[in-house]
Structure 1
């Protein structure tokens, strides 16, 4: 939801949530009128009653504790998430997860049907709610329905594994516009739809059950003005300089990731270990800052990943520390946005090396905050952002030696080359903000 509950004394209140999606859509909803249907973050109790926040109608949806385990932790994050990220971890297929996924999607569809007026636009988001477009189409055939998938959509030979492939595809085809981060994901979807459903037609315009379905790429972005404005804030500049000084003149390589197995954190650490082992750089020359934002801590795979990452950090620091300098500074937890921007401003090199990512907005945030035009972005070729940020140092995130070589190249890159590349990167990000992304999708949905 665009709001979160905060405690004020003994009472609770709602405040606007941070995040790009809220930043993009809330102004549009305030200006044109509309509602937001979403989970209120609670389990085991009835959802909060509908309310209005900052002129936006909020319709909370509840989950039971069991639904959280089966619909969210189970089907969404142990079936769909690994499958859609190239089966980096083996997806699990359980009927006992599928039916709660179906039932929760129906609950969201019914809530959206109640909120939407005659002929309204309804925009459904992400892999947890893939069945909603088809369900909503049955309930409200008058609505214009859009669906956007924020994560990758896999090749048809991988998607073929899921036992409910036809049901998922047919439900997504209930939308009038189906959007993805990249053209590759859109093409993967169209091919799967033609193979496993009755859909026909070219990749960008399928026909299904007498309807036209637009399938296209709508690459998401960030609030460029917000991040650039924060980078120019004197307080942020002071904090960036304080942080740089605390590193005692060492070159700073920054990594900011959710602690997720798709992000390639462990391979990146091994590559940094390799860089130091080659002897050209030591902990007196450079430092790697790894900010690992907790996520899905109750899921076993994530607890195992955390243990592995923290063991690697300990081993690298034990092996390569020099005098008072440790080579890896590891932070388990998120940072307030202003503090994060100060880290972007302080970093000489930004490492963004996921194994697979729908887009990855950290890469765009870093470029936007480099108002002096310097800095080096090292970016996975398997992130959606790589299709736009072509002047980054593009790397194969599975290649330890290649990553170590890219780190070395980044640390040695002349300032003139940094400025040439960063100018191009900043221009690419500024060309399409998150507001342009939202306006573009809504315009396609209105076109009919």
Structure 2
């Protein structure tokens, strides 16, 4: 097998397998922030991407798609259930998101997590060139850095954590807490979305493993000599160029006008765009909006909320219950307030291509990002990128990574329903002048600190480690 200087390891490949109308196999670029973030990087290096193709028991040889060498990992049906739906998404995800839903701890799930992480690590170790670089991504693969180091001590290893890292009081609940910390410390550079996430991780390392921690550096003891590990925030961003191109297209602008027209040309359109997930605060947003209508502070003829909730983890019980709750709440509000010509909430349980999303962003006067806990939230940045006229208002939860950067947004605590209602009213009633004063610095931040700036800063940190190794 040909080796690669730069290897990305992520739970999913950057492409999805689709069967065409004549039964042929087609690979399409996956939606999602990680793929959008890394694709430009992979085009410019001698790289390979290790990941799962998204279907159980699908055995594929390595292949090249869109100029990127792809190394598929096979997962059995049982491993999908235990490693992915189980440990990753029913243990780690809720624990790391402040236990909004209770985490489940099952030893067989942990065993599957270890087995699958080893499979990813072995694939990466086999494909990376001598003294090359491996960049591991996210909570599904927290053990991979240590495993790759054991197999390939010559390589430089990075790890980026895309979701929050919890405070020690929560993290300490995890039965395998020390094993996960050691797994992560196999990396030379560990990146987090927020400075607080890095602090939480460093606190856990100091308290659980008693390693020396000075500033952002952990000293990891070794058999022959100790090894420094850098753990700090590298807030992720978006590739702004496709958004800037799409907002100039006449057909996209026409579609935005068509969306307003189809809703009865309300004075204000509010927009929520989320994966259907209990961390996103969709219930809180809908509750606040419903109360504003019930109290007469908003009127259905004047304001419409579009809520896009793309399907997510539909076999995990917590997500099934969440969908039922949200759809019941939407039905009640619409039943109480709709007229023949106007609907309070247009609820869309589906995903949309980027062109349609940009049209929605252009149509929306107010973007509601009310996550209860979110590593970053790239939707907030996507909305800002489309606001070339410096109009529009971002209502942003202070519990998102984006809140650290996007300081001129209308910040909210989504648990405070009265405060959330007041923030929505402030956004709806905001003057064009005030919108501009807020949006201009927001756009400057997003356009200057794009995905290329993010990846460059992380790769620069890795290169500095690599130079020390050489």
TM-score (norm 1): 0.98
Say yes or no: does 1:27 pair with 2:43: no
Measured after TM superposition, the shift of residue 440 of structure 1 is 1.1
Q: Which residue of 2 aligns with 1:68?
A: 80
Q: Which runs of 4+ in 1 moved over 4 A?
A: none
Alignment of 1:69-148 (within 5 A): 69-148=81-160
Aligned pairs (5 A) from 1:34-433 = 34-45=47-58, 47-209=59-221, 210-250=226-266, 251-433=268-450
Q: Which whole-Å CA distance do the structure 2 matches of 1:249 and 1:294 have between them? A: 28
Q: Decide which moves more: 249-258 or 22-31.
A: 22-31
Task: Compute the displacement of 1:280 (Å).
Answer: 2.6
- Return 5+ residue gaps in structure 1 as ranges: none
CA distance in 2, matches of 1:235, 1:321: 30
Cα distance per residue 1:143-187 (max 9 Å; x no partner): 100000000000011100001000000110000000000100001
Are the equivalent residues in 1 in contact too, given 2:289–2:421 (CA < 8 A)? yes
Aligned to 1:4, the other structure's residue is in SS state strand
Q: 1:442 aligns with which of 444, 447, 459?
A: 459
Q: How many angstroms apart in 2 are the aligned matches of 1:205 and 1:287?
A: 49
Structure 1 SS opposite 2:278: coil
Look up the SS of the partner of 2:279 in the other structure.
coil
TM-score, normalising length: structure 2: 0.93
Does the C-alpha gap of structure 1 residues 392 and 27 become closer, same or farther in structure 2, counting only changes over 3 Å? closer
Corresponding residue SS for 1:6: strand
Contact 2:284 2:415 in 1 (8 A): yes
- Give the SS at the match of 2:98: coil
Gapped regions of structure 2 (runs ≥ 5): 1-12, 466-470
Aligned mates of 1:67, 1:23 — CA distance in 2: 27
CA shift, 1:31, in A, is: 2.4
Structure 2 CA distance for aligned equivalents of residues 186 and 397 of structure 1? 24
Shift of 1:24: 3.3
Change (3 A) 1:431 1:27: closer
Distance 2:154 2:339 in 1: 68
> Structure 1 residues 227-236 or 358-367, which shifts more?
227-236
- Superposed CA offset, 1:275-314 (max 9, x none): 1122132101101111110000011110100000000001
Distance in 1 (alpha carbons) for counterparts of 2:361 and 2:188: 39
User: 1:355 is paired with a residue of what secondary structure?
Assistant: coil
Q: What is the distance in 2 between the residues matched to 1:315 and 1:238?
A: 32
Cα distance in structure 1, aligned partners of 2:279 and 2:129: 39
Aligned pairs, number: 447
CA change 1:20–1:305 in 2 (3 A) is closer
1:198/1:143 Cα in 2 relative to 1: closer, same or farther (>3 Å)? Answer: farther
Instruction: After TM superposition, give the deviation of residue 323 of structure 1 in Å.
Output: 4.3
Partner of 2:9: none
Q: Flag the 1:253–1:111 CA change in 2: closer, same or farther, 3 A.
A: same
The 10-residue stretch of structure 1 (23-32 or 386-395) with the greater mean CA deviation from structure 2:
23-32
What's the secondary structure of 1:372's corresponding residue? Answer: coil
